[in-house]
Amino acid sequence: MKYETERREIVKACQDMNRRGINQGTSGNISVRVKEGFLLTPSGMAYDEMKAGDIVLMRPDASHTGKRKPSSEWRFHHALMTSRREVGAVVHTHSMFATTLSCLGMEIPAVHYMVAAAGGENIRCAPYATYGTQETADNAVKALQDRNACLLANHGMIVIGPNLKKAMWLAVEVETLAAQYWRALQVGKPNILPKAEINRVIDKFKSYGQAKEPAPACC
C-alpha cells in the first residue's frame, strides 16, 4: 500500500486525540502532506475502526483516490496545503475548552507565554460558516495568517505544523491554553502579556530544546 507508514501514523494520531480528550467521536480530522498531494481522514468513520486503507489520498486539483469519501472538511485542508508550502500536517479537533471559547467568538490572548507557540500574541477566532464550505476554508486561511493555530467560531480549532508530531503537540497546547484562559476568566480579569514579551518568547523558542545531532561523517 502506498504511503502505508504515513497512513498508519494518521490513524494512530486520530485515536490518540480522542484518548487524550482533545476530540470526541468522529468530529475531528487530520491531513499529512505527501509527494502526490496529501493524505486525509475519511468522512464519518469511527477512529477505533479506521484502518490505514481507509485514509484518502487527495491531489492538488482536489480530486481524490481511495475506497472512502474524504472528510467533509477537505476544503480547508486543501486550502492550507496549497497556500502554505511549509505545512506538513493539519489537525482539526472539537476539543472542549477551545470549542467553548469559539462558541463565544473569543480569541485566546497572551494569558500565558506559551501562546507564542502558535506564532503570535494571540490565537484568533475565525468567523462562523457552515462546516465543509469554502467559506469556512477561506475564514481559516485568513485567521491562520502568520499563525500556526486558530479557533473556528462555534466549531473547534485548527492547528498546522511541519509534521504530524508537531501539529499534534500544538493541538494539545492550544487546548491547554484555552482551559487556562477559561478558568482564569471564572476568577477575574486575566493578566495579558504585552506583544513585546511574546516577541521575546518567540525569539527564545528558536534555540529552545536540544541541538540537532550533527550529520555523521561520510565514508
Q: Domain locations in the chain?
A: 4-205
Query: Over 80: is that where the pLDDT of 215 sits?
Result: no
The residues that are catalytic are 73
Average pLDDT over residues 151-167: 98
What is the percentage of the chain residues whose pLDDT exceeds 70? 95
Cβ distance 30 to 91 under 8 Å? yes
Average pLDDT over residues 8-14: 97
Residue 217: predicted pLDDT: 39
Q: Which CATH architecture has domain 4-205?
A: 3-Layer(aba) Sandwich (3.40)
209 band by pLDDT with thresholds 50, 70 and 90: low
Q: What is the pTM of this model?
A: 0.93
| Radius of gyration of the CA atoms of the chain, in A | 18
Residue type, 149: A
